[in-house]
A and B are shown apart, each in its own frame.
Chain A
């Protein structure tokens, strides 16, 4: 059975995921998204993987959520609060979500996943380091290249070009 920490974490995670999409203000929405990401980090700690939890906190809550918050602040004030959506489309979306959840949940509950239990100790994070440097080393290098390429590309994209005399300004 689930314990109290698991229940609290799932309420926080799912509740703030809904809040992130449904709150009127985008600023509060991005703060609620921080709640979701932090809740996922809590799940990682429950799953005995503190290294991934710290990574999640550092990368997601620390940088991505703050990046989103600053982007939201760059957008005009009326647009932050504007909420355009079809009523009909919204109902169809909710129906799609419910059908999806019920169908996938029924498949999972009916499958053999329930029998998977473990008493073995958790994976040591030294093994993750071994993985990174032995079997996955090409992927690690490729990931570094992709990250640097993406950050450079983001900077180039967001640079503003002065139309009149063709000079680049920030």
Chain B
């Protein structure tokens, strides 16, 4: 392997930090979904990197499961955003404080 495990893990840490920044600062619901996607991808990169260096097939298998579950999560999250947008005519999460019918 030309690259070391540390480098992949450091890229993953950088992505996780960016995702946490986005989750804590942004108030736009769609941008928070972006941040969640970035965090999930950092986790997947970590799993595949450790799976390559051990080497063990479990890392790739779990990464595939994680990608599939993330697809389901995005579908539900986007439809929730659309429903909230219809109710409040806004996608600012500060407006969603009272999520009643």
Contacts and interface: CB of A to CB of B under 8 A. Distances in A.
Nearest to A14: B14
Nearest to A32: B34
A76 interface: yes
B27 to A, nearest CB: 6
B53 A116 contact: yes
Interface in B41-89: 41, 44-45, 48-49, 51-58, 60-61, 63-65, 67-76, 78-83, 85-86, 89
A39 to B, nearest CB: 9
A129 to B, nearest CB: 9
A169 interface: no
Given A89-B25, A158-B82, A97 B20 contact: yes
B3 A2 contact: yes
Contacts of A94: 21, 25
A74 B82 contact: yes
A26 B82 contact: no
Interface string A122-162: 11010110111000100100010011011101110110100
Dominant SS among interface residues on chain B? helix
Interface in B1-58: 1-11, 13-22, 24-28, 30-31, 33-35, 37-38, 41, 44-45, 48-49, 51-58
Nearest to A91: B25
A146 B81 CA distance: 20
A132 B68 CA distance: 13
Contact of A21 (B8, B21, B45, B49): B21
A71 B78 contact: yes
A136 B45 CA distance: 21
A29 B33 CA distance: 12
B13 A17 contact: no
Interface of B: 1-11, 13-22, 24-28, 30-31, 33-35, 37-38, 41, 44-45, 48-49, 51-58, 60-61, 63-65, 67-76, 78-83, 85-86, 89-92, 94
22 contacts: A2-B4, A20-B38, A21-B21, A33-B34, A36-B37, A44-B48, A51-B60, A52-B63, A68-B34, A84-B27, A84-B94, A96-B21, A100-B17, A108-B13, A118-B53, A118-B54, A131-B57, A143-B65, A143-B68, A150-B72, A150-B73, A151-B75
